[in-house]
Amino acid sequence: MDHFQLKDGHLHCEDVPMSRIADEVGTPVYVYSKATLERHAAVFRDALAGVGRGEPLLAFAVKANPNLAVLKVLANQGYGADVVSVGELRRALAAGMEPAKIVFSGVGKTAAELRAALEAGIGQFNLESEEEGEELSEIASEMGMRARCALRINPDVDAGTHDKISTGKADNKFGTPIGDAASLYARLATVPGLEMRGLAMHIGSQLSDLAPLEAAFEKLGKLLKTLRESGQSVRQVDLGGGLGVPYKSGEILPSPGEYGAMVRRVTQDWDVSLAFEPGRVIAGNAGVLLTRVVRVKRGVVHPFVVVDAAMNDLARPAMYGAWHDFVAVEPDGEEMTANIVGPICETGDTFATGRQCDRLERGDLAIFRTAGAYGATMASSYNSRGFVAEVLVDGDRFAVVADRIAADSIMNAERVPDWL
Ligand SMILES: *Cc1c(COP(=O)(O)O)cnc(C)c1O
């Protein structure tokens, strides 16, 4: 459920008409609903209440939506953060997330990033490899610290998602092969600058089936037993994120409740504290991209609805062939079949082909739904279009939570050397 609904024939975000945002902030613009974010945060929390020892750590995957105001909403809900760069670490801290609730993931953490995270006192490093563990140990030792770590395991399961967002197959770059994990864990447990606390895993994103997750968790459970039998201490397991969300109206995906029940069943005798790194399932349906129709151009098969949003603002269709529902802000009850495209000069800038949608004309407003995750954060300034603005709605009020960055500002950061 989300709070983007028609009221008196006009699409609202909570109690704010979309046209008011378009008039005051311009288009294209991302619009997030605070009530929806809070609702998703609560549903996920309730689904996992009491799993593992104590209450689980819920670390929002900042890469899904790193906007400071969004992070603040989630911090207020008790969420921590899963970060993958020092930039994300800074954002999580700036939004008020407790350092102890921050987990650092990623295959290429640099020495400077490891140092910054140690300085911040984060809760856990999810180590990808022996090499990373050794480097972190050296830095921590120099600083007179011990880094709290989990070893990220690559369980070699096919998550059944898009290749570009699958992370748990043996040939993906992530984690340590599960076959090598026991000996590597034992080795890292002897390294002076590290405190090995447990295991971590994240097998991919937009998972539409719980079976691969369950298979991966079962493998992790076996590894956990092997480690304990050989005398290792395993107190914490981070099960990652990945739960998918419906992008098409009517699409049914596993719910947080079903996910929680599966986790409870698989982990009941693990005797560890659990952590989760949800991203999309919290933010996806809490945001839309609001856009205006520039013009409707006649086509050979279907007309082209040319909107003022483009692949630089919302990359998912161009990058993953992803579907976003596209609806008018003031539908007149008529429909059309159209190609929905942006103004960018490449054919990749196509949001939908032969799409049945509300009838639209020049100047009309429309939204791409389910754009709250992996939307604004993947924006670029391709075609010198500047960076899209972001708005957060709360009841009948809203605030601009990210300014539009004009193409001129980006140009002004460039220099032409005086020898040209
Ligand atoms: C991307 C990512 C997540 C979040 O994935 P979602 O599908 O958005 O839940 C969690 N953990 C890690 C390590 C990630 O890379």
Q: Please confirm, yes or no, whether 345 is among the known catalytic residues.
A: yes
d(CA 411, CA 406) in angstroms, rounded, equals 9
HSE-up (13 A, CA, CB side) for residue 391: 28
Please tell me if the CB atom of residue 279 comes closer than 6 angstroms to any atom of ligand 1.
yes
- Reported as type and span, the H/E element at residue 94 is helix 86-94
Can you list the domains of the chain with their CATH numbers?
Answer: 4-32+284-411 (2.40.37.10), 34-279 (3.20.20.10)
**How sure is the predictor about 30, in pLDDT bands with cuts at 50, 70 and 90?**
very high
**How far does the centroid of ligand 1 lie from the alpha carbon of residue 275, in Å?**
12
Instruction: Enter the pTM of the model.
Output: 0.97
Residue range 175-200, pLDDT digits in tens: 999 999 999 999 999 999 999 999 99
Render pLDDT for 194-243 as a digit per residue (tens, 0 to 9). 999 999 999 999 999 999 999 999 999 999 999 999 999 999 999 999 99
Gap from CA of 113 to ligand 1 centroid (Å):
19
Catalytic residue among 13, 149, 345, 357: 345
pLDDT tens track for 86-121: 999 999 999 999 999 999 999 999 999 999 999 999
Q: Which pLDDT value is given to residue 68?
A: 98
Annotated binding site: 242, 277-280, 316, 320, 346, 374
Q: Backbone phi, then psi, for 82, in 5-degree steps?
A: -105, 115
Residue 360's pLDDT band, with cuts at 50, 70 and 90, is very high
Lowest mean pLDDT among 31-40, 162-171, 361-370: 162-171
Rounded to the nearest angstrom, the distance between the alpha carbon of 188 and the centre of ligand 1 is 25
3-state DSSP call for residue 357? strand
In the block, tokens 């086509």 appear at 299
Nearest to 410 by CA among 377, 383, 386: 386
The stretch 156-184 carries a mean pLDDT of 89
Q: Is 280 in the pocket of ligand 1 (CB under 6 A)?
A: yes
C-beta 275 within 6 A of ligand 1:
no
Report residue 388's pLDDT band, with 50, 70 and 90 as the boundaries.
very high
Q: Determine if ligand 1 sits within 6 Å of the CB of residue 240.
A: yes
Which atom in ligand 1 lies closest to the alpha carbon of residue 152? 13
> Rounded to the nearest 5°, which phi and psi values hold at 151?
-95, 120
Query: Which of 37, 48, 60, 82 gets mutated to test ligand 1 (max ligand atoms within 8 A of its CB)?
Result: 82
Q: Is 277 in the pocket of ligand 1 (CB under 6 A)?
A: yes
72, pLDDT greater than 80: yes
